Chain A
């Protein structure tokens, strides 16, 4: 797919899409969004880049290989589930802590966010793995 228009479009779209993906992920707990859709948007954006340039170029852009993303995502999700065990709680019980910051006011931070980050990484990794292997084949 060697099209100049697409190439140029993707160059502008890519940062926007990646930003959107992070935005979707971060607001996911309170507004529509979350790890799944965030990860898919990120994966899709990089996929577009890979199709217009090459898989090698995309790999260089991401740096982390899909395998690393999938593995670390799974470990993150599993780790967030194992953490409560150290506090004598059942597997996957959510742990929360509340902090107050100057900009955002009161914030709840807890293991479900880590879990969602794990989902984000796995979904991105899996999407990239599909696209890269098909392109490099």
Chain B
């Protein structure tokens, strides 16, 4: 399964980067969303992939009975998901206000800093 996920991650990265290279700011935002999914999946795949074994220790035990999924990347991704949600929301509002104020969604027309 590693190879399939690795290819998926690569595909997501390619889609995200392509979208971020567009001139339309809304596409940029979609690209940002794709890129954060790609990054989360990248960290997840780079950890220990174990099917279905949740990193929860059974009640009454102090150690897991079998090999379990890697909890460390999960903790990293959990925060990353929430952070990227906040970043996406902020960017969304920023772009929304930019379009509202300047009346354009073309990045090439947003080059000057004093408008």
Contact = CB atoms under 8 A, between A and B. Distances in A.
User: Do A and B share a direct contact in the complex (Cβ within 8 angstroms)?
Assistant: yes
B86 interface: yes
Contacts of B89: 130
Q: What is the interface residue range for chain B against chain A? A: under 10
A123 B82 contact: yes
A88 interface: no
A8 interface: no
A36 B56 contact: no
B87 to A, nearest CB: 12
B86 A126 contact: yes
A40 B81 CA distance: 11
A36 B54 contact: no
A133 B79 CA distance: 23
Interface in A36-74: 36, 40
B56 A31 contact: yes
A109 to B, nearest CB: 18
A126 B85 CA distance: 10
A32 B78 contact: no
B93 interface: yes
Contacts of B54: 32
Interface string B83-108: 00010010001000000000000000
Interface string A20-42: 00000000001110001000100
Contacts of A123: 82
A32 B56 contact: yes
Contacts of B78: 36
Given A30-B56, A31-B56, A36 B93 contact: no
Interface of B: 54, 56, 59, 78-79, 82, 86, 89, 93
Interface of A: 30-32, 36, 40, 123, 126, 130, 133-134
